[in-house]
Amino acid sequence: MQQIKTALLSYGMSGKVFHAPFLQLHSGFDLVGSWERSKKLIHNDYPNVKSFESIESILNDDSIELVIVNTPVATHFEYAKKVLNAGKHALVEKAFTTTVEEARELAELAKAKGLKLCVFQNRRWDSDFKTVQKIIKEGLLGELVEAEFHFDRYNPLLSPKKHKETANNGSGILKDLGPHLIDQALCLFGLPKAVSGDIRITRENSLVDDWIDLTLYYENFRMRLKAGFFVREAHPAFTVHGKKGSFLKPRGDVQEDDLKLGKKPNRTDWGTEPESLQGLLHTEKNGKIIRAKTPTLQGNYYDLFDSLYHSILKNTDEPVTAQDGADVMKIIGAAIESNAVKKIVFL
């Protein structure tokens, strides 16, 4: 199998947990190394790769074809632009950029240079979301009326990562957890006609937004997206109501927790949720009312990397395109505007 030499722009939690294990698992990628500014950690896990002293040392390495931009959000535009200008494909973490204008500029640059530019929206490959997507696609709920997606946590303490708690264009929950929720909504339903956003600071001494409540307005359908740090008793992560029935699903994907524990992904039983977290389907099917737990599909972030691999080799669309990333930033921009003017913003 032809290999794509790949480098990371950091080896913190993101590089160690979400990227390197899947690059190692996929025989089509060759992890060359990572840019490490102070802590030199990658050799602890991958002794045969390089620890690069600068981004320039990666960009000047002609053997490297793909660079993963997994640095703080405020740096995504600058670094992704450098990667593309160096003639390399880019996989950019969420939030893709800080503004829709930056996202569009990167998309145009990649197109002009004939390069692949993919956004790392790995939550499309979560077991819980894949199951919700299947239920909707099969029409089990009938014509949809409303849906509500949550990404809630209970964590009143500020993050020790300074870039997450310093007021800047890339910080705050809207650009941290918000892109997951927004991308999942757009993946299912496309762009809405309008957006309203309520964005707050709820933690003591916080300088960045840590609570969001967004509503996406479709023609005959409403989509609500919520995230916050003061939810000790979680709502269902996914609630979908249609004219035939409802589906309620708790957040259950195990991949992040397993990766943080050092478990290695595979292609057989990886991403298998416990049965206790199955969703509840209450609907009408073949003239009968059913109310029962529904088996959860397997999740696997491997599929994102596999799709990106084939996208680069066969020049097909990326699994999450730059346009997808720009659309998410469009919603974020509209939510910020709505919060400021206290009105619905039409797209």
123-299+331-346 placed in CATH 3.30.360.10:
yes
Average pLDDT over residues 246-269: 97
How high is the pLDDT of residue 142?
Answer: 98
User: Quick check: do 4-122+304-319 and 123-299+331-346 share a fold?
Assistant: no
User: Closest Cα to residue 157, out of 205, 208, 213, 212?
Assistant: 205
| DSSP H stretches of helix in the chain | 13, 20-25, 42-45, 55-59, 76-85, 100-113, 127-137, 162-165, 178-189, 255-260, 302-314, 322-341
Burial of residue 275, with CB atoms counted within 10 A of its CB: 0-12 exposed, 13-18 middle, 19 or more buried: exposed
Supply the pTM of this predicted model: 0.97
Q: Is the pLDDT of residue 1 over 90?
A: no
309/315 Cα distance (integer angstroms): 10
| The predicted structure's pLDDT at residue 38 | 86
CA–CA gap between residue 121 and residue 301 (Å, rounded): 10
Structural domain boundaries of the chain? 4-122+304-319, 123-299+331-346
Domain 4-122+304-319, CATH: 3.40.50.720
pLDDT tens digits for 191-224?
A: 999 999 999 999 999 999 999 999 999 999 999 9
> pLDDT > 90: what percent of the chain?
97
pLDDT at 101 over 90: yes
Return the pLDDT at 44: 96
